[in-house]
Structure 1
């Protein structure tokens, strides 16, 4: 079970810069947030600390309770950390759709901020180091944030992102050719290289996608 934030940690997150997510605090306080996945230490001097996407969501959660008319959504995170839907997960109840959409938008904005802060040229048009080490999650987040629907566990009505033997690429499957091309366009727009291929044995079409480096 994830330990709740301390009062000091909540104050630290709430006081983060609203635009950049930059944090101020003691080294021990900042290190504690890093260990919880709520902050990261910038690799370049002066090595400031910034909120991660999970940290931004934690601050939004502290801002106030949900609106009364908003139906409560079932948990879609693990340990408080956002989990992108790669396809094949159980379907969300209808009441969870709006809340999930907000969560995805927040996660994508946090990812763009992470790109800006960690890419050497501060660009947001190509994946950052975190995305290169979490390929399936990163590609799935880009797709879901653009409005594509992940496949449910009992159907083939959405995209599925799967690891491949290649260490720097994932395979994306979709229910038809048009949906597959749409996924490829979305990934290209999010900074990925994407090309359609055919599986030799099954003849099934898929998109092979890898993070663009330049």
Structure 2
């Protein structure tokens, strides 16, 4: 998304069903929201449109001036981003951040329900498989785990050369095991490994398919 939604598009977002995120609007409006990553078209008839996690977050966020809403230098502007750990400028902590994370997680569960063929919410959906690092980080942040800051303490989620797999680093062994339990509950397959050179323990996690 390079520009904030138009007033008409924001009205469509604000008019979404509060539970399912189902949208009503013209074909042009709905297509524009899909292009911006704020909505998706259900693959099964009648092919209704629904809010993505980013769309849910935008609906609950207060209206902002265009220069604040557009994606720019600040990663937290306009589109929600889960904490992957080690960010140079992490979003401020506090009640507002907790609400954003909770809204994004609920939106993701709804996305699972609407896009998994059997409507399951206990395993990742297609969107998560194309946004592995962000999806794993959201599961951890939503469960209350501490992301790493300037100091090494806390989790860090990173991509790997392996298809559909992320690495989760956490220097505290107990906290690492807690991260593994959280990801397993969120529908990820998790294994603990040792880095050969540093002997550091880390997690390798992949979205579960069944």
Q: Report if TM-score (shorter chain) is over 0.5.
A: yes
C-alpha deviations, 1:66-120, integer Å up to 9, x for none? Answer: xxxxxxxxx6524x11111111113657x64221111111111110010001001
Deviation of 1:4 after TM superposition, in Å, equals: 3.2
**What residue is the counterpart of 1:77 in the other structure?**
76
Structure 1: gaps of 5 or more residues: 66-74
SS of equivalent residue, structure 2 residue 209: coil
Instruction: Please tell me whether the aligned partners of residues 56 and 107 of structure 2 are also in contact (alpha carbons under 8 angstroms).
Output: yes
Match of 2:162 among 159, 166, 185: 166
Q: Which moved more, 1:182-191 or 1:199-208?
A: 199-208
**What residue is the counterpart of 1:188 in the other structure?**
184
C-alpha deviations, 1:36-70, integer Å up to 9, x for none? Answer: 211111111111100111111222125x89xxxxx
Deviation of 1:208 after TM superposition, in Å, equals: 0.8
Distance 1:87 1:23 in 2: 33
Distance 1:151 1:33 in 2: 33
Instruction: Please tell me whether the aligned partners of residues 58 and 79 of structure 2 are also in contact (alpha carbons under 8 angstroms).
Output: no
Deviation of 1:162 after TM superposition, in Å, equals: 1.1
Instruction: Please state if 1:126 is matched with 2:126.
Output: no
Instruction: Please tell me whether the aligned partners of residues 34 and 41 of structure 2 are also in contact (alpha carbons under 8 angstroms).
Output: yes
* Paired residues for 1:23-102 under 5 Å: 23-62=23-62, 77-78=76-77, 80-90=78-88, 92=90, 96-102=93-99
Deviation of 1:133 after TM superposition, in Å, equals: 1.0
TM-score, reference length from structure 1: 0.88
Match of 2:134 among 134, 137, 142: 137
Between Structure 1 and Structure 2, how many residues are aligned?
A: 201
**What residue is the counterpart of 1:68 in the other structure?**
none
Structure 2: gaps of 5 or more residues: 65-73
The Cα RMSD (Å) is 1.9
Distance 2:24 2:174 in 1: 48
TM-score, reference length from structure 2: 0.89
